[in-house]
Structure 1
Amino acid sequence: MTTPRDAAPSRRVRANGDGTVYQRKDGRWEAAGYVLAPGNTRKRVRVYGTTRKEALAKLTEKIAASNRGLPIAAADSTVGAYVTYWLDSVAVHHLRENTHTRYATCIRLHLIPGLGAKKVARLTARDVRTFLDQLRTTCQCCAQERDADRQCCCAIGQCCGKTLSPLTVTYVHSVLKSALEHAVREDELPRNVARNVKTTSPRPRRFQPLTTTEARQLLRVAGADRLHALYELALRTGLRKGELLGLHWEDLDLDSGTASIHRSLQRTRTGGLTTLHTKTRASERRIALPTECINSLKSHRERQEEERNATKVGWKDSGLIFTTPTGGPLDPANMTRRFGRLLERAGLRRIRFHDLRHSTATLLLEQGVELVVVKELLGHAHIGVTAGVYAHVRLRLQRQAIDTLGDALGAGDDDPDSPPAAVVVR
Structure 2
Amino acid sequence: MTTPRSASSRRSRSRANGDGTIYQRKDGRWEAAGYVLAPGNTRKRVRVYGATRKDALAKLAEKIAASNLGLPVAAADSTVSAYLTYWLHGVAVHQVRENTHTRYAACIRLHLTPGLGTKKLARLTARDVRTFLDNLRTTCQCCNQERDTGRFCCCAIGQCCGKRLSPLTVTYVHSVLKSALEHAVREDDLPRNVARNVKTPTPRPRRFKPFTASEALLFLQAASGDRLHALYALALRTGLRKGELLGLHWEDLDLEGGTATIHRSLQRTPTSGLTVLHTKTRASERRIALPTECIRSLKSHRERQQEERQAAGMGWTNSGLVFTTPTGSPLDPANLTRRFGLLLSRAGLRRIRFHDLRHSTATLLLEQGVDLVVIKELLGHSHIGVTAGVYAHVRLRLQRQAIDTLGHVLGATDDPDASPAGAVVR
Change (3 A) 1:217 1:355: same
Helix, strand or coil for the counterpart of 1:247?
Answer: coil
Residue pair 2:71, 2:89 contacting (<8 A) in 1 also: no
Per the alignment, residue 301 of structure 2 pairs with: 300
TM-score by length of 1: 0.90
1:14-413 correspondence runs (5 A): 14-15=14-15, 17=18, 18-24=20-26, 28-50=29-51, 55=56, 58-59=59-60, 62-63=63-64, 66=67, 71-410=72-411
The 1-side partners of 2:5 and 2:293 are apart by 87
Identity of paired residues, percent?
81
The 2-side partners of 1:372 and 1:192 are apart by 36
Per the alignment, residue 417 of structure 2 pairs with: none
The residue type equivalent to 2:82 in the other structure is A
Residue pair 2:71, 2:86 contacting (<8 A) in 1 also: no
| 229-238 or 391-400, larger mean C-alpha shift | 391-400
The 2-side partners of 1:55 and 1:150 are apart by 52
Structure 1: tracts of 5 or more residues without a match: 1-5, 413-426
Measured against aligned partners, the alpha-carbon deviations of 1:231-254 in whole angstroms (never above 9, x if no partner) come to: 000000000011111111111000
| 43-52 or 253-262, larger mean C-alpha shift | 43-52
Residue pair 1:148, 1:155 contacting (<8 A) in 2 also: yes
Residue pair 2:21, 2:32 contacting (<8 A) in 1 also: yes
Residue pair 1:23, 1:52 contacting (<8 A) in 2 also: no
The 2-side partners of 1:57 and 1:308 are apart by 54
Deviation of residue 32 (structure 1)? Answer: 3.0
Deviation of residue 316 (structure 1)? Answer: 1.4
Residue pair 1:21, 1:56 contacting (<8 A) in 2 also: no
The residue type equivalent to 2:147 in the other structure is R
Deviation of residue 37 (structure 1)? Answer: 2.7
Residue pair 1:33, 1:45 contacting (<8 A) in 2 also: yes
Helix, strand or coil for the counterpart of 1:385?
Answer: helix
Deviation of residue 141 (structure 1)? Answer: 1.6
The 1-side partners of 2:302 and 2:51 are apart by 64
The 1-side partners of 2:10 and 2:410 are apart by 83
The residue type equivalent to 2:384 in the other structure is I
The 1-side partners of 2:291 and 2:181 are apart by 47
Deviation of residue 267 (structure 1)? Answer: 1.1
Residue pair 2:268, 2:274 contacting (<8 A) in 1 also: yes
Measured against aligned partners, the alpha-carbon deviations of 1:69-110 in whole angstroms (never above 9, x if no partner) come to: 554211111111111110111110121111111110000000
Residue pair 2:66, 2:90 contacting (<8 A) in 1 also: no
Helix, strand or coil for the counterpart of 1:121?
Answer: helix
Equivalent pairs, count: 405
Change (3 A) 1:68 1:112: closer
The 2-side partners of 1:255 and 1:7 are apart by 72
TM-score by length of 2: 0.90
Measured against aligned partners, the alpha-carbon deviations of 1:241-287 in whole angstroms (never above 9, x if no partner) come to: 11111111111000000001111111111111111111211111110
The 2-side partners of 1:238 and 1:287 are apart by 10
The 2-side partners of 1:304 and 1:7 are apart by 75
The 1-side partners of 2:156 and 2:191 are apart by 43
